């Protein structure tokens, strides 16, 4: 098979586009697709400062790579969620990418700034992804506004968008469908524009781009995503795509062109600012701060119960202060007295 552009030997066949590319033409195609999306959707201009949320995975690192190559002013933001070896590995990939490209990367360690995802899930009895989503949104928004950025870019790809669209359409989540856009304009002065420049590029295309560019990324998925509904939708969409190439792109593009404008978004502007953290909020305390309060309250209760039962343990390092454990109380068990 020959490259559609230069007629050299093709290395990738894009059935959904009826094209095949050699390595260098594919890199050019991928970068141009992003460039076109940024311009067409008016995502940002070369004069604006972009905060790129990087997870250490292929999508966000491929996006950052393209933005750097195109000369945009970028800075990376990595959130260390504290999810065991998965977080350690993904952090290392994000930090290595920043070092080799000599670009700034801000790292926020949740266990120090707030609470790790596993601890939040454990004490609130929520599924980890729910606690994680609340904290990610908070730290993305906070880092973007406090760093004076014009826009926050994430690496959501076509497969993510198609799966989200399928899920929302299956349940007729009209409010979500109304907000499902590749560019979200801020609904509060302390929010910045949010953009998804990869929304027309598939997971396969970003993986191939990352491979061709020698980007070292974390291959494992987050352990909490095992069995997630989103993965099930992705699997179904992949099966449809295998039989009818191009379906995913048409599904998302046509939704945005003809169906999405029919859904009316209710006024989503947060009416106030959180009295604890100052970020936009719908109640006196934002959802992030109430999550933290709940964790702190339940941790205190658990400690009190343990102390009453004569059991002591080192305090987990997960309070906002980031400080380590406090002094052990005198143990009622003589052998354990320090």
Binding site residues, ligand FES, CB under 6 A: 81, 117, 128-129, 132, 222, 224-225
- Supply the DSSP string of 279-321, one letter for each residue: SEESSSS-HHHHHHHHHHHHHHHHHHHHHHTT---PPPS-STT
- Asked if 153 and 195 touch (Cβ cutoff 8 Å), the reply is yes
Q: Residue 143 or 274: which CB sits closer to Zn ion? A: 274
- Residue 155 interacts with ligand AMP (CB under 6 A)? yes
Q: Residue 28 or 228: which CB sits closer to ligand AMP? A: 228
Angle at 191 between CA 188 and CA 192, to 5 degrees: 125
- Residue 66 interacts with ligand AMP (CB under 6 A)? no
Among 20, 31, 43, 156, binds ligand AMP (CB under 6 A): 156
- Residue 60 interacts with ligand AMP (CB under 6 A)? yes
Stretch that binds ligand AMP, among 48-56, 114-122, 201-209, 308-316 (CB under 6 A): 48-56
State the minimum distance, in angstroms, from the CB of residue 169 to ligand AMP: 19
- DSSP conformational letter for 176: H
- Residue 59 interacts with ligand AMP (CB under 6 A)? yes
- DSSP conformational letter for 264: P
Among 31, 33, 116, 154, binds ligand AMP (CB under 6 A): 154
State the minimum distance, in angstroms, from the CB of residue 127 to ligand FES: 8
State the minimum distance, in angstroms, from the CB of residue 247 to ligand AMP: 21
- Orientation of helix 58-69 relative to helix 84-100, angle to 10°: 10
Q: Residue 21 or 76: which CB sits closer to ligand FES? A: 76
What long-range pairs does 183-190 form, CB within 8 A, spacing at least 24? 183/41, 183/42, 183/43, 187/268, 187/269, 187/270, 187/280, 188/269, 188/270, 188/280, 190/141, 190/145, 190/273, 190/278, 190/279, 190/280
SS3 call for 207: helix
Task: Please choose which of Zn ion, ligand AMP, ligand FES, none residue 132 contacts, taking the beta carbon within 5 to 8 angstroms, the exact cut-off set by kind.
Answer: ligand FES
SS3 call for 50: strand
Which two three-digit tokens encode residue 36? 């076109």
Stretch that binds ligand AMP, among 95-103, 148-156, 270-278, 289-297 (CB under 6 A): 148-156
Beta strands per DSSP E along the chain: 12-14, 19-21, 49-53, 73-80, 105-109, 151-153, 183-184, 193-195, 272-273, 280-281
Site for Zn ion in 236-295 (CB under 5 A): 274, 276-277, 286, 289
Task: Please choose which of ligand AMP, ligand FES, Zn ion, none residue 129 contacts, taking the beta carbon within 5 to 8 angstroms, the exact cut-off set by kind.
Answer: ligand FES
Nearest to 271 by CA among 180, 162, 190: 190
State the minimum distance, in angstroms, from the CB of residue 114 to Zn ion: 10
CA 165 to mean position of chain CA atoms: 17
Nearest to 239 by CA among 299, 161, 159, 122: 159
- Residue 81 interacts with ligand AMP (CB under 6 A)? yes
State the minimum distance, in angstroms, from the CB of residue 53 to ligand AMP: 3
- Residue 51 interacts with ligand AMP (CB under 6 A)? no
The residue ranges that bind Zn ion (CB under 5 A) are 274, 276-277, 286, 289
The residue ranges that bind ligand AMP (CB under 6 A) are 53-55, 59-60, 77-79, 81, 154-156, 160
């Amino acid at each position: 098979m020959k490259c559609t552009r230069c007629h050299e030997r093709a290395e990738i066949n894009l059935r959904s586009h009826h094209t095949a590319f050699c390595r260098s033409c594919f890199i050019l195609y991928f970068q141009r697709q992003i460039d076109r999306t940024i311009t067409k959707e008016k995502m940002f201009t070369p004069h604006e400062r972009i905060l790129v949320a990087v997870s250490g995975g292929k999508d966000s690192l491929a996006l950052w790579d393209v933005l750097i190559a195109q000369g945009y002013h970028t800075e990376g933001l990595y959130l260390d969620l504290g999810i065991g070896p998965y977080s350690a590995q993904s952090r290392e990939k994000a930090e290595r990418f920043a070092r080799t490209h000599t670009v700034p990367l801000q790292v926020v360690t949740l266990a120090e700034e707030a609470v790790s995802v596993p601890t939040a899930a454990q004490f609130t009895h929520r599924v980890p992804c729910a606690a994680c989503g609340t904290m990610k949104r908070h730290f993305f928004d906070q880092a973007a506004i406090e760093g004076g950025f014009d826009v926050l870019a994430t690496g959501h790809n076509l497969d993510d968008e198609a799966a989200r669209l399928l899920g929302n359409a299956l349940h007729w989540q009209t409010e979500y469908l109304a907000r499902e856009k590749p560019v979200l304009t801020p609904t509060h002065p302390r929010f910045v524009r949010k953009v998804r420049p990869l929304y027309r590029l598939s997971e396969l295309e970003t993986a191939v781009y990352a491979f061709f560019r020698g980007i070292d990324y974390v291959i494992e998925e987050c352990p909490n995503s095992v069995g997630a509904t989103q993965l099930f939708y992705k699997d179904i969409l992949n099966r449809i795509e295998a039989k009818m190439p191009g379906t995913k792109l048409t599904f998302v593009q046509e939704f945005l062109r003809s169906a999405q404008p029919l859904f009316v978004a209710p006024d989503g502007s947060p009416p106030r600012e959180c009295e604890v953290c100052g970020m936009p909020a719908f109640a006196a305390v934002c959802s992030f701060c109430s999550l933290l309060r709940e964790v702190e309250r339940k941790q205190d209760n658990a400690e009190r119960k343990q102390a009453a039962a004569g059991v002591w343990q080192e305090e987990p390092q997960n309070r906002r202060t980031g400080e380590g454990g406090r002094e052990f109380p005198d143990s009622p068990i003589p052998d354990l007295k320090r």
